[in-house]
Chains A and B, each alone.
Chain A
Amino acid sequence: MAEPRPLSIPVILGTARKGRMSAHAARLVHGELQKREGVSTELIDVGSLSHMLDDNGQGTGDPAFAASMNRADAIVLVAPEYNHAMPGLLKHVLDSCLQEYIHKAAGIVAVSAGPFGGTRVIETSLPVLRELGLVTIFWDVNFGSVDKVFDEKGALLDQSFIRRTGKFLGELIWMAKTLRYGRENIAV
């Protein structure tokens, strides 16, 4: 079934740390999304958003981020694993919205320097995303030992990640279409 509007699927780069390898992963996923017909995407860097540090919660965030989340049919979180969890800045940004997320799809791209591919950041993020009203998919992309996946300039060294990312995006797009139909056509 043809969609009346392109699916909006922003990619959120979830760290502002200097020298972040997650930026390479985010650019790869963003580039693969750009190749998908019927999808519009943008790369959102949490390090370039305006943040309120003396307040938090719904409605306190960057208005441009909130508008992007309102438009979104799905989101991709690119999250490095910091002490087994998502970066605090990413959580702070996510907590600035709520109604914008309800019944929308979410996929996690996890990044770690170690061999486990960010599995722990995925596990600890799932209850957070659920409480925000997002619907998580069962495909992830795990960039473990990330310094072996990309070179210093961000060139992809392991081409298997193209196929892995493709499977992830295929499921995310299916879920985004399904949830859009539900949001707009199925009443409670």
Chain B
Amino acid sequence: MAPSPMRCPECGGTMNQHAEKIVYGSHGARIDPDLGGVIEEMHACPQCGYVASRPAT
């Protein structure tokens, strides 16, 4: 099942996921074993422009 769209922390609008970015560092169990880092989803709000991220599921 696809994850639910992210809600904008600023205005409550539905955000658009526009990127995934690998982040290297000490994130323990969240490290993707194939990629060697944590995949973060990047989201932007079409209403107010706010950007936010969350760990990929």
Contacts and interface: CB of A to CB of B under 8 A. Distances in A.
Contact of B18 (A5, A58, A182): A182
Interface string B4-48: 000000000000111111010100000000000000101011101
User: Chain A contact residues (Cβ within 8 angstroms of B): what range?
Assistant: 20 to 34
A183 B16 CA distance: 7
A173 to B, nearest CB: 15
| Main SS at interface, chain B | strand
Interface of A: 5, 8, 57-58, 70-71, 73, 98-100, 102-103, 133, 180, 182-188
Contacts, number: 55
Interface size class of B (residues with CB under 8 A): 10 to 19
A98 B18 CA distance: 14
A100 to B, nearest CB: 6
Contacts of B19: 102-103, 133, 188
Contacts of B50: 70
